[in-house]
Structure 1
Amino acid sequence: MPTTRSTAGGRSADERRGALLRTARDVADDLAADAIAREQAGRPPTDETARLREAGLPAALTPPAPGRGADWRTGCAVIREIAAADSSVGDVLARHYVHAWSGRFYAGPHLATALEEGSVREQWLWTGAVHAPSPDDETAEPDLTLRPRGGGYVLNGSRSVETAVAVADQIVLDAACATTGDVLVVRIPSKAPGVTIEPAHDRLGQRVAGAGRVALERVAVAPAQVLGRRPQDEESTAPFTALAEPALRLALCHVGLGIVEGALAEARDLSRGGRAHRSPGADSDLFLTYGELASAAQTATAVVDRATEVMARALDTGTHLGPEEPAAVAALVATAETVTSKAALHITAGVLELADAPGLDRFWRNARVLTAHRPVANRLRSIGEHYLNGSQRGVTAAFL
């Protein structure tokens, strides 16, 4: 549970949490007012991220420390609130929050603290694309390579980034060192010389998330921009570092829940206003339909909330996390992903049968894009393997 001790700023953690959630609701109300028009325009989220910065959300959604940042439970609550109004912006905020943890996942405490303090001070917006270790790494050619130069490196290559590629301040990437073969996690300022941004166009959904490609040509990487080494196999991964990928996937589950909540709320308003295909007075089965959809949403919420609580405890444990714990956390996250994916696609398709209002289809399209890259069958096999074999650390990679 959140502590009630006073912070350096004179407010308790509970008071800061309450203020942050109120701010998130205000921003969500603002985003909801023109969500359909912005989604149809499909432009990079320049205006949207300006709204986030004006409200102070990028600075607030950084790892917790005395007087600053947000704990995992609060950060996920903010993400879900924003995603219910505009899932593209929720996606941006989810990836920002998790990538802002990169210093803790990969670097030492001093560098992590400096990065987080700089992020709060400068209102940095983070994005990135860090690949999870894979057996294919040994045979595939790396898309990003580092070559030593002086005390640092030169970075070359290109990679797809799912959000905020044109508007982020810091981009977190992993790249292979051409001389040692080590895979290093680096932080690249988006305005650095040699960085070229190529926004994606005409996406099916999540059209305002700002997806695109970042191309890097002889980009200088100073030693302070190297966060650490990304282990190439499961056995050499520190337990706390192993939480990085599940944390991102769990944050995106909250974006999925936001899509579900937004779709149901909009359909409900249409039914209440008599603008749906079916009205309660003329079709008693409408109650059955809403009951089924609401139950599916509540089931997904319960599963995601449980995974969120377990992840929060693991993050609070920090570097003292036991070697067996990441697999158990990853199993719960995979379960949350599976349930949320099914619920999001089912519910967003269901509301289209209730009403044919402009923009209502965006919820299904957004859910489809958010869930398309991770087939449910693969997650179910991994969950089954974990159930049979127990909380073995080597199982964690199966969930990635």
Structure 2
Amino acid sequence: MTTAVRPADEQRHVLLRTARDVADDLATDAIARDQAGKPPLDETARLREAGLLAALTPPRPGRGADWRTGCAVIREISAADSSVGEVLARHYAHAWSARFYASHPHAPAPEEASVPEQWLWTGAVRHPAPDEGTAGPDLALRPRGTGYVLNGRRSVDTAAAVADQIVLDAHCSGTGDVLVVRIPRGAQGVTVEPAHDRLGQRVAGAGDVVFERVAVTAEQVLGRRPHDEESTAPFTALAGPALRLALCHVALGIAEGALVEARDLSRGGRTHRLPGEHPDLLLTYGELASAAQAATAMADRATEAMARALDTGAHLDAEEPADVAALVATAETVTSKATLHITARVLELADAPGLDRFWRNARVLTAHHPVAHRLRSIGEHYLNAPHRVPAAVFR
């Protein structure tokens, strides 16, 4: 008796097989591309040609990827090239923006266009913070006719010059609202200042995007970003943790890629450190493999919780986003510690050109989120739940 394969399982299998093929392709020249540090034009072309940009969009009948599958694809690509993995992670998270910020239950228009056009998404949406108003907004919208004019600048971590849609939040001078907008590639008045000579994630395409009198139509407004934590709708509160969790899978990919490359060097006898059967070498690999598996288990737990919350949608309980955010913060803490440790230790085990890129990429990826701040937020949630602890405290 054979067991029928569900369409969703078959779709996941096909998508992961495609991701492995793309990862194998990226791995062949990862070191050379890291050294060149050029914008990810060729890399995004590979993703687009393989159908991954269209596939990693929010799920609807007949298209898109569920959260579990999307994160698995991101991790697979990141093990081969974490810069491209980060591009894909931010693409997937920002492709959800219309759902996270929409003022109505469904906002299918950008998603519907994204699939056939194979848009690449990126962005930099700042989430509510207690001291947000002290320095003034860096992006400002001024009403004009039925739309707006956008001015200012914002740092974007991936695909600044090559993305098809950039998602941003900006303060509207007319109403005082903070609106989330999407700016299409090639819009008049948009210039990009690429970030040169980065320590790591050199192919991610980071840069500052400058907006000078950029016209924004009403159709480009995805919704409103709440001013504070208390007024944030439960589903909207998932936006920040979802992005951080996607990046957590990038970090896991870095750890896995570093371990595999070092292991292959040790197996091939191309290490100048210890012989392949030395007890200390076996002990170290056992320690590092265990650290990677522990981090994976924590990330998978957070991924499952996020997937359930996203599936719940508008019916999400008010307390649930904070619980999910706490799991995400825990996964970030465990994963960043394990990844930094693994990528540093493999340099002591194997000696080969390019192996240092894993450590450099891990440093850049994890530098924006201090561990101490996350641990305080996790502690606050542990002590004060089930009283309302906003998801936004886990920044």
Pair in the same fold by TM > 0.5 = yes
User: Would you say 1:51 and 2:43 are equivalent positions?
Assistant: no
Match of 2:256 in 1: 261
Change (3 A) 1:109 1:26: farther
What amino acid is the match of 2:261? Answer: E
How far off its partner does 1:109 sit? 5.7
What secondary structure sits across from 2:107 in the alignment? helix
Identity of aligned residues (%): 80
Residues in 2 aligned to 1:109 and 1:76: alpha-carbon distance in whole angstroms: 27
TM-aligned CA distance change 1:64 to 1:249, over 3 Å: same
Which residue does the alignment assign to 1:189? 184
**Residue pair 1:280, 1:287 contacting (<8 A) in 2 also:** no
**Equivalent residue for 2:331, pick from 328, 336, 348:** 336
User: 2:341 maps to what in 1?
Assistant: 346
Provide, for residues 331-384 of structure 1, a one-character-per-residue CA deviation record: whole Å limited to 9, x for no partner.
000000000010010000000000120000000000000000111011111111
The residue aligned with 2:300 is 305
Q: Determine which of 133, 136, 147 is the counterpart of 1:141.
A: 136
Which residues in structure 2 correspond to 1:30-69 (within 5 Å)?
30-69=25-64
Q: What residue number does 1:200 align with? A: 195
The 3-state SS of whatever aligns with 1:373 is coil
Rounded to whole Å, the distance in 2 between the matches of 1:282 and 1:381 is 42
1:82 counterpart residue number: 77
TM-score, with length taken from structure 2: 0.97
Note the 1:193-232 alignment, pairs <5 A: 193-232=188-227
- What CA deviation, in whole Å up to 9, does each residue of 1:223-261 have, x standing for no partner? 011111100111111000000000000000000000000
Q: Is the 8 A contact 1:234 1:394 kept in 2?
A: no
Corresponding residue number in structure 1 for 2:9: 14
Offset at residue 282 of structure 1 (A): 6.0
106, 118, 121: which is aligned to 2:116? Answer: 121
Amino acid corresponding to residue 294 of structure 2 in structure 1: T
Counterpart for residue 378 of structure 1: 373
Q: How far is the alpha carbon of 1:108 from its aligned partner?
A: 4.8
Matched position secondary structure for 2:390: helix
Hey, what's the Cα distance between the residues in 1 that align with 2:5 and 2:291? 37
Alignment: residue pair count: 392
After superposition, the C-alpha distances for 1:52-102 in whole angstroms (9 at most, x for unaligned) are 000010000000000000000000000000000000000000000000000
Which amino acid is the alignment partner of residue 193 of structure 2? E
User: CA offsets, 1:301-324, max 9 Å, x none?
Assistant: 000000000000000000000100
Q: Which residue of 1 aligns with 2:19?
A: 24
Q: Distance in 2 between matches of 1:392 and 1:193?
A: 48
Amino acid at match of 2:287: E
Is this contact kept in 1: 2:298–2:331, CA < 8 A?
yes
Aligned to 2:240: 245
Contact 1:325 1:391 in 2 (8 A): no
Equivalent residue letter for 2:48: R
The alignment partner of 1:159 has SS state of strand
* Alignment-derived partner of residue 99 in structure 2: 104
Query: How far apart are the structure 2 equivalents of 1:281 and 1:294?
Result: 16
Which deviates further from its counterpart, 280-289 or 24-33?
Answer: 280-289
- Name the residue aligned to 1:9: none
What CA distance in whole angstroms lies between the structure 2 residues aligned with 1:212 and 1:274? 41
User: 1 CA distance for matches of 2:48 and 2:160?
Assistant: 16
- Contact kept, 8 Å, 2:152 with 2:212, in 1: the verdict is yes
Residue aligned with 1:394, SS: coil
Q: Which residue of 1 aligns with 2:321?
A: 326
TM-score normalised per structure 1:
0.96
CA distance in 1, matches of 2:27, 2:5: 35
| Secondary structure of 1:135 counterpart | coil
CA drift of 1:114 comes to 1.2
- Cα 1:348–1:226, aligned 2, differ >3 Å: closer, same or farther? same
2:63 corresponds to 1:91: no
Instruction: Judge conservation of contact 2:103–2:224 (CA < 8 Å) in 1.
Output: no
3-state SS of 2:293 partner: helix
- Are the equivalent residues in 2 in contact too, given 1:327–1:392 (CA < 8 A)? no
2:178 maps to amino acid: V
Find the aligned partners of 1:139 and 1:354 in 2 and give their Cα distance.
48
Using the TM superposition, give the Cα deviation of residue 280 of structure 1 relative to its aligned residue in structure 2, in angstroms. 4.1
Secondary structure at the counterpart of residue 393 of structure 1: coil
**Which residue number corresponds to residue 291 of structure 1?**
286
What letter corresponds to residue 167 of structure 2 in structure 1? Answer: V
The answer to whether the 8 Å contact 2:269/2:275 transfers is no
